[in-house]
Structure 1
Amino acid sequence: MNHNVFRDLVPNYLENLTSEDTNRQMEQHMEQCEDCQEYVNEMREDLFIERINERKEEKKKIDYLKKVRSKSQKKIFMIIGTLLSFFLVLSISYYFLFVHMWIADENNVQTTIHQQDNIVTVTFQSKKDNRYLLAKKEYGDQEYGNQIIVYESWNILTDTKLNQFSELAISLQDGTDITYTFLDENTLLLPNGEEKKLTDKDKLQIIYKNSTEEILLKDLYKNVEIN
């Protein structure tokens, strides 16, 4: 094998692309020619260095892609975190503005009693324009509602698209009512249709934030004013 053919084959030889027969011929040639053997060693070193450099470049590209991906992930997490925080703030704000109700302050409530025939209606109305009240009758261990808890909430954004509770707020703008039906001043008609004879122990409690008012049911029938 002459030198030119040998040197043309060296790149393929180093890449293991030559046949076994060609490899034998080249190895025989290297045994006889030190220059070609040295050429192969130099080519092998150059190829080794080239591959190292390629790996370094490849590693740089991978590291760069990792950094870009990491930055992208951080941006995504930041955006998601910001959106979640914004949604959380909106949810909390919506809850406290439209859903949350608290026991009303007595000073914010105007209470009136109206009697028509034997039906007595206790009406609670907010003294503040941006609030509405909701009175809830509690039965406890009595057959009649012996407690009334007066709740208060904000009355803003009457658009039903923005506030799903706006219809409730509008319906309660003129006050919230609790009714009792009497047969006479000593007899209360219960929700189940039964009659209850009233005594001086039968009292109605109206519960506010910092106070509780009591009134005898007999006095309620007499339309006694509630302070």
Structure 2
Amino acid sequence: MEKNIDCAVVRDLLPSYVERLTSEETNKVMEEHFANCEDCALERDTMMKTIHDTISIAKKNEKVVNYLKKTKTLYVLKGFALSMGIIAVLVSFIVDIAVNRRLTWSLIVDAGIAYVYACGLPLAISKRNKIVKMTAAASILLLPLLYVIEYVVNDNYLSQPVYWVREYALPIGVLWVAIVWAAILIIRFTKVNVWTAIGIFLLLAAVGSAVTNAIADQATLKEIYTTGYEWIDTAAYLLCAAVFLFFGYEKRRKE
């Protein structure tokens, strides 16, 4: 009889016990009872498992809800960005035809918009290596974009065509694409921190800036440094690179 009364009391207190609302003295008495009563111990374990499962399901449902909200927001943003791009293309077409009676400058605008969207597509659809894929798209599509600009300008705005892509834009574009890829590969395989990554890019950019000016001026690097002010740009790049590399070294040393 005593056991039944004890069991009834324990089971009345069991929900509070499982939720840790009972006092230490009550807990001690109940744990002593569980040690001698398999039925109440089983009831305790069942109730605790039910609560644990309920909490787990609630957390999973919360994660699912948050994921769905995030996905919905991303789809809305993607739809908005796509809509703005389409509107921009249509507006440029309409204005260009209305003013010039044919397509002229709008081809450059639309090619630029297409370039931006093509570069941003890997960010929107890829789950891994987004930066690498975006850089690959930008590298591949850069030359066609430059040729479109050259064609439109020569066809509509110059009396004598100037073919500047092959002579200037192509070597400069290849140079900076190589610099960007070199920085990405170095960062990717050396696993450096953000500070060091920026420092590495600035070092490469110092070289790229000097070579770019040499190509644009049709001069040698020696002439660029002795007759112009390229040394100021190079010094600024190197100084900034040294600062970022120092911070990168300090951060890695502390870690």
Taking structure 2 as the reference length, the TM-score comes to 0.34
Higher relative contact order structure (alpha carbons within 8 Å, sequence separation ≥ 6): 1
Q: Which is higher, the Rg of structure 1 or of structure 2?
A: 1
Q: Flag the structure with higher helix content.
A: 2
Taking structure 1 as the reference length, the TM-score comes to 0.38
